[in-house]
Structures are given as structure tokens and as C-alpha cells.
Structure 1
Amino acid sequence: MNSSLFLSQLLNGLQLGVLLFLLSSGLTLIFGIMNFINLAHGSLYMIGAFVGAATYNASGSFLFSIAAAMASAAAVGLIIEHLVARPLYRYDHLYQVLATFGLMMFFNELAIVIWGNRPYFVEIPEVIRGSVMMFGAEYPIYRLLIIVVGVLVAFGAWFLIQRTRFGMLTRAGATSSSMVGVLGVNIDLLKKSLFMLGAALSGLAGTLAGPILSVQSGMGDPVLILALVVIVVGGIGSIRGALLAAIIIAIIDTLGRAYLPHLLGLVLAPAAANTTGTALASMLIYILMAFVLAFKPHGIMSSAKR
């Protein structure tokens, strides 16, 4: 096994894990703290990618495109919270799933109307377009930047929820909103703020993914499935669990896709090995989820146990 190739794939898995974390962290906060299932969260990721790509292509400023994408996703998240989520908080999860699934389909079609049905491309900014030597192999600077941003966001989100007054009030409001409301705290404002935070993180993930993926309608749907697996494995409501689970799942998926076809090629024909290896690699993360649910039903770092 080539050690340089293995380390490169490991870093690719880490980079994918960071993107999954940025998406799933907002989703796990909204689900775990507000007890609301938002299937339109992947659409916020798509909106961030489109707005970030369009803004960067128009302005040439990558930082401005990130700010615009996060602000746009947060604004859409606020609208979703006010018009859809707020009336459904007191209802069963089934109503939430149906409503947000409808929103997901709506946003996919809206993206086609605004940006067209073809992939929308954006280049990596020139200043971070090169590569650096790591472990005897070149690795793109931009992918390293994604990893660094993800680690910083993970620490910031954990600190906000666990070590600040906002986080304390949000967690208390999730446990007993009526009691916190009696103390003079605006529960509706807390919920809106948390929803906007989760949406902004999703928009950030979409912006960062834009230069390395094709930006197109529906791009948030398959990533949403992975994000749901992440929050189940990591523990609903747990930032640390989301980070750990996202990295584990991404590394398993990346290494599986890279090496399973080669290993199966030792005993199968090349075409069959590629087909079977890719299918098995996709199955590995769901096998992991089933294993975790069997032995740790609340996730590896469930907030219910803290």
C-alpha cells in the first residue's frame, strides 16, 4: 500500500468530514435543542453554494462571498423558522418532515429557475490555489483551509452552546421553555437565533464546497442523508459527537471508495470489483450506524447523557 496515497486519502476524508460537520452541526442543534426535524437544511447548504459562487464570480472576493452566503442562508433560515417551523413546534415530527420535505423540493426547483439546470462552476481563489508538501505528497492548500475552518467552527460552536449565556438559555429553553419564559427570556428570539446559526453554518459549508464540487440544484439532498447519519451516530444535540461522527464517517467512506475496489480486484474481474467495491463503500456508513444504534442507541456522545 502506498503510504503517501493513503495519507492523501486520509486528509481527503478529514476534509469531507469537516464539510459534513459544518452541515450536521446546525442540523443537530436544531433537532437536538429545538426538537424540530428540518429536511430543508440541505437546501440551505445549496443556497450557500449558489450565492457564494455567484457572489465570488461577480466580485472576485472570496471572503465577501462567504459572508454573503452565510447571510443569505441565515435569512432564509429565519423565514423558514417564522413561517414553517414556529407553527409546527407543537406538532408531531411527521408534520415537520412533510413540511420541510416540501420546502426542499421547492428550493430545488427555485434554484433551477434562478441559476439554470446546468452545474454552476466557481474557481478556487488564486491565493490559495497551490499545494503544499505533506507526508511526502502534495496536498491542495484549499482543502487544508477547509479543515482549519471546520476545527475553528467546531470549537466556536461548542463554546457558544456550552460556555455562554446564550447557550445556557437555549439549552434551558429546550428543557422547559415556559419556565425560562417566566424569567423574562424571549424564547422565540432564542429559537430564531439558533435556527439562523444553524442555517449560516450550512451556508458556510456550501460556500466552501463550491470550488471543489459542482454547484447545482439538488446538491444538498445526498449530503443531507449523510448529515442525518452523522447526528444519529454522534448523538442528537452534541457538537462534539457531530464532529467525531462526521470525521469517522467521511474517512470510512473515502478509504472504502479508494481501496475496496482494489482489494476486491484481487478476487473479482475489474468491472465487477469496481461496481461491488463502490456499493460496499456506500454501505459501510449505514452498517456503522446500525452498529451504533444497536449498542449506543443515543449516539456515541448523546447530549441526553450530559
Structure 2
Amino acid sequence: MQVADTTAKPNPDITIVRFAPSPNGLLHLGHARSALLNWRFAKRSGARFLLRIEDIDTTRARPEFEQAIFEDLSWLGLDWPEPVRRQSDHFDDYRAALVELRKLGLLYPAFMSRAEVTSHVRVYEQNGRVWPRDPDGAPHYPAVDQGLAEAERNRRIDAGDPHSWRLDMQAALDGLTSQEGETVSLTWQEDGQGPDGETGKVVADPGVWGDVVLARRDVPASYHLAVTVDDALQAITTVIRGQDLFASTSVHRLLQSLLGLPAPIYRHHSLVRDGSGRKLSKSHGDIALAELRAKGLSPADVSAMAGLDALE
């Protein structure tokens, strides 16, 4: 059977990159590396550099962290056009994408809690069997709710039962055919490098993620859905981001294909790590750019600490 290639073919007339932090903590050296790589790439190539605030999770986003993002990036010497896109201003865009996926029959409400999933997996693995897990180590969601009748789903939703909306991954993969009925091969152009040295044309493998969450009752879109929609609406042609998101690109390519959205070129870069080899993280309280600035370090010092001298 002939395979149709859906590798990204970006608009050659204009290149647009973006840096998209979440205002749920202070920026650290890892953020500085990614922001500077995007901004310097734009300056060298004549591209547009956009700043996007990914505050889809309004329970964790805080205005003081957003203000700190602006201050840190300005101190580093970056500039960007206004207005900045804030995800919290565009919930309707994500709802529209969810409606399209529901029309395709690819979404279902998932009612199992994390504790219930953990219990289900534990029982399954008691006899030495191995439950599938995604690249982040989380267990795949059990195929428990997919078979619920529509009436039962609606009854539980109307009753206020907590639930998320998940992508039926197998149905999505089964539906990947071209207009000519050919099997579609999802790939992307990698101009950077994956964690294992992947570069060039990379074959996407979204199935390894299982039935990913695309929305929750209190959060109108997951990272996977929001970033896919945002990149398309902002006409992003080159995505420059850390290697920790390399595997996620497979999900984004799938969503782009299902929703008929263009796919950018990707340039994944290595991460800034601490002395133990762990990547820097807000949740671990790694030293913030604001603290480095308060200690008297210069933007050039931070750039060197982020490893950009070796990368340039």
C-alpha cells in the first residue's frame, strides 16, 4: 500500500518562532537558554520572535510570575511585538478544536481518578504482566470508559462526576488516511536533535502516549491541544524548544493532522542540567534568573551559564 507523507511544509516567505513560558513560577537558566536560542535565531535569520504566555491552567498561573517573565526577558535583552497572546484569552479556540475532534468521534469522557487507574494497573501487574506507560512514565489510561453508552456518559456528566476528555488514540490512528484512502505516515522535520541523536525526517509515534488528556473540567485544554492550536493560529513555522518535549511532538503531529493544521519545523535543543544530571525545574526551586540578577550577574554571565557560548 502506498504511504502518503505528511511532513511539514512551512511557508517559505516568513519564519516565525516563539518562546512560550507558563507563569506558574520564576524563570531559571533552562528558560533563558530556550528564550535566547529563539531570539538569536530570529535575529540571525530575519524571522519574527513572538512571546506567548501559556496560562491555560488558571489555578496555577499568577500575575506576579507573568510580570517577572517580562522583566527577566527584557533584562536579557529580548524584545517582542505586542500584544502578547495569553491562552486564558482564547478558550474558545480550544473549545472549537475539541468540537471538531468530537465530530470525528475521537473524544470520550474519562471518569477514572488517578487512584483508580493506579489500582487497576496494580491488579493487572500482580502476575508479572507489564502495563504500558508513556514516555513520561505515566501508565496508559485503561480502556474502561470507551465502551460506556452515550446515555450513561451523559448521565454521569450531568450528575457532575469529575472527568477529563481523552483522545481515543487507536481510533485516531486508524483514521489517518489521505483523501485517496492511502495510509498516512506522520513525520516531522527535525533541524535540531532529539535525546538519542534523532535528526532529519523523524517518524512520529503518538501511540506510545496512549489515550492522552485533551481537556479537563477545570482546564479547557491540555498542553498538547493548546500548543498545537496556538502554534497554528500564530503561524509558527519553527518551534525551538527543549529535548524534554521531543516525544510530545508525536502527539502534536497527530493533532495537526486530525485538525487539518500546518506543521512547523522543529529544532529541539539540549537542556541545562544540575550537577547530578537532573534538568532544571521550577518545582524543584532551581535558582531563578531574578536571583542571579539580584546577585549582580550580567546578561552575558547568564548566557554563558546557560551554555550558549558553546552552542553558538
Q: Same fold (TM over 0.5)?
A: no
Q: Higher strand proportion, which one? A: 2
Q: Higher helix proportion, which one? A: 1
TM-score of the superposed pair, with normalisation by structure 2: 0.26
